[in-house]
A and B are shown apart, each in its own frame.
Chain A
């Protein structure tokens, strides 16, 4: 699992849906979109739409550079999630336990790792939100 801290909230992402992690100083403009869509980036010559984690989980504001960006999703439903200026790390899934959550936006489960709770981000739900963000 990939774990990180954003706005004092702990998140986790299943590495099964992580295609890559990159750090960038820029996210480029994509017209006619609204938050959480932040823009676009290229990764290994491929273009990805970037969603901002603050646009998903905070009412206001967005992350600032340098941006740690995770490429998520599968097949033709891939996107980038900007985590902001954070240093994520990988932990063994076997060391984690998972608890169910009910109706929490973009969260599929709660994860306990070394006694600390993390919200597990659901890439498919984020992708659906991205689709709604095109004007």
Chain B
């Protein structure tokens, strides 16, 4: 029965159940005698055992069976569910995950030595558990890996079938038009063709939407393990996990959320005794709140920890080369964003968890590369909130094409406030007057270190907006607008500042999409 197609189904199902067990074990630790939580865990272990048996993975089946035995002892109150016992169960769960990964890659699991984990489970069952430090995988931070398979509701396929039928009809019409060219018929068919294509695109994008819970379900475990490492107590609450985002955004988001949570536990949440002294409950709280706003999704990660000390932040930022004159002009929101300065860490010591200054700048870059925005708010002594505003669907965007320095670029139309012609004196002054307001301006060619292609005394100008900030961009030529499919830049191209992605033109030429947020901020500063 162990054929590759069955194996794929097996891996997906087992992985989904292991993820659910991971989430349920965190709940089980809090409420071990909650019948609903217990039933859920037994159901998942039982299903995994059955699937392993039918596929012939005896080793995996025995491991799941031993874990089930431990849970039975707890359910029958023969064993007390201590933190160490739960850690043992998590360790065994990690081994099941490792085996699943091996099976997915088509590798054998026979050479995986399960005996240390099985012995620990058996010792736990007998009540002779070794010291916590020697429990398997006690220190591991799980990697959050969203499923590669998307579950699509049946009606979407019905719709796709209907759309395909429409496409076939229009194709026949177009074919007929090509033999007897009737301009009106051709235009009509092309109009319908475009309409069907848009519909097709909408449905495919809907099919790609997956719930945020695919990654937040695994975060409770991450919080548990990180808190244990840091000898802190933290509870995670997730609101809005049912909100759906494009699969590519969700994949990019998983590491970003882990980064933010890591920082929150290490820098934000205080040790229990310190919290109690300041009148806070001993257990810290991290809340992930997801909200929908038109075609965007807002994800906030808030902690009730010590907050950001602005004076210390400014001191650390200047040590990293940020000029005080620049900081003096910043508002509070901009000052807090200094946490994203490359290499900046608010900790003096590096820990295993964080403090190497490679966290928040990576978070910001990732959010920007997804076409999103990042903001930070913090109340000293009361906590910090990191907010990400992300597009729900990353792929399709309306852009304005422009030319600068003999190259073509695309600018997201949503950030374009207007276009105009700038006279030579404005270009020289690097300032334009737009709606009776003077706004700073620069040449796009300047920003990308290319020569101007100035053929007249005026230059086409695009006025860009980003929140409350505005700036103007001189370009060689304005071209047309179009709805295009934007892809994120892969590494190492993603290192280029001021570009959020690329599209491929009809001639195969890659066209870079300007990161308006970065451009506006750099011109304004």
Query: A residues touching B (Cβ–Cβ < 8 Å)?
Result: 26, 28-33, 40-42, 45-49, 76-79, 127, 130-131, 134-135
Leading 9 A-B pairs by shortest Cβ distance = A31-B448, A134-B495, A29-B407, A49-B493, A76-B491, A42-B510, A28-B510, A40-B510, A131-B492
Q: Is the CB–CB distance between B495 and A41 below 8 Å?
A: no
Bound Cα distance A105, B393 (Å): 44
Query: What are 17 A-B residue pairs whose CB atoms fall within 8 Å in the complex?
Result: A28-B509, A29-B450, A31-B450, A31-B499, A32-B448, A32-B449, A40-B510, A45-B504, A46-B490, A47-B493, A47-B510, A76-B491, A77-B491, A78-B490, A127-B492, A130-B492, A134-B495
Among A31, A47, A79: residue with most chain B CB under 10 A: A31
Mark each residue of chain B from 502 to 520: 1 if its CB lies under 8 Å from any CB of chain A, else 0. 1010001110100000000
Mark each residue of chain B from 24 to 42: 1 if its CB lies under 8 Å from any CB of chain A, else 0. 0000000000000000000
Residues of chain A lying within 8 A (CB to CB) of residue B491: 76-77
Q: Does B497 contact A (CB under 8 A)?
A: yes
Bound Cα distance A100, B447 (Å): 45
Residues of chain B lying within 8 A (CB to CB) of residue A79: 492
Residues of chain A lying within 8 A (CB to CB) of residue B504: 42, 45
- Distance between A22 CB and nearest chain B CB, rounded to angstroms: 11
Q: Is the interface of A mostly helix, strand, loop or mixed?
A: strand
- Distance between A13 CB and nearest chain B CB, rounded to angstroms: 19
Bound Cα distance A128, B497 (Å): 18
Q: Is the CB–CB distance between B449 and A31 below 8 Å?
A: yes
Bound Cα distance A130, B308 (Å): 36
Residues of chain A lying within 8 A (CB to CB) of residue B508: 42
New contact pairs (13) apart from A40-B510, A42-B504, CB-CB < 8 Å: A29-B450, A30-B496, A31-B449, A32-B448, A33-B496, A40-B502, A42-B510, A47-B487, A47-B490, A48-B493, A49-B493, A77-B491, A79-B492
Q: Is the CB–CB distance between A76 and B510 below 8 Å?
A: no
- Distance between A86 CB and nearest chain B CB, rounded to angstroms: 22
Q: Is the interface of B mostly helix, strand, loop or mixed?
A: loop
- Report the nearest B residue to A45, measured CB to CB: B504
Residues of chain B lying within 8 A (CB to CB) of residue A31: 447-450, 496, 498-499, 512
- Distance between A31 CB and nearest chain B CB, rounded to angstroms: 4
- Distance between A23 CB and nearest chain B CB, rounded to angstroms: 13
Bound Cα distance A46, B502 (Å): 10
Residues of chain A lying within 8 A (CB to CB) of residue B510: 28, 40-42, 47
Given the contacts A28-B509, A32-B448, A42-B508, A47 and B495 also touching, CB distance less than 8 Å: no
Bound Cα distance A130, B512 (Å): 19
Q: Is the CB–CB distance between B490 and A134 below 8 Å?
A: no
Interfacial residues of chain B within 32-90, with CB under 8 A of chain A in the complex: none
Residues of chain B lying within 8 A (CB to CB) of residue A42: 504, 508, 510
- Distance between B512 CB and nearest chain A CB, rounded to angstroms: 8
Residues of chain A lying within 8 A (CB to CB) of residue B493: 30, 40, 47-49
- Report the nearest B residue to A79, measured CB to CB: B492
Q: Is the CB–CB distance between B490 and A32 below 8 Å?
A: no
- Distance between A81 CB and nearest chain B CB, rounded to angstroms: 13
Q: Is the CB–CB distance between B487 and A134 below 8 Å?
A: no
Q: Is the CB–CB distance between B496 and A32 below 8 Å?
A: yes
Residues of chain A lying within 8 A (CB to CB) of residue B509: 26, 28
Q: Is the CB–CB distance between B495 and A131 below 8 Å?
A: yes
Q: Is the CB–CB distance between B502 and A47 below 8 Å?
A: yes
- Distance between A44 CB and nearest chain B CB, rounded to angstroms: 11
Interfacial residues of chain B within 401-460, with CB under 8 A of chain A in the complex: 405, 407, 447-450
Selected from A32, A46, A77, A127, the residue in CB contact (under 8 A) with B497 is: A32
Bound Cα distance A77, B449 (Å): 26
Q: Does B489 contact A (CB under 8 A)?
A: yes
- Distance between B473 CB and nearest chain A CB, rounded to angstroms: 14
Bound Cα distance A48, B510 (Å): 10
- Report the nearest A residue to B405, measured CB to CB: A29
Residues of chain B lying within 8 A (CB to CB) of residue A131: 492, 495
- Distance between A35 CB and nearest chain B CB, rounded to angstroms: 13
Bound Cα distance A42, B498 (Å): 20
Mark each residue of chain B from 325 to 360: 1 if its CB lies under 8 Å from any CB of chain A, else 0. 000000000000000000000000000000000000
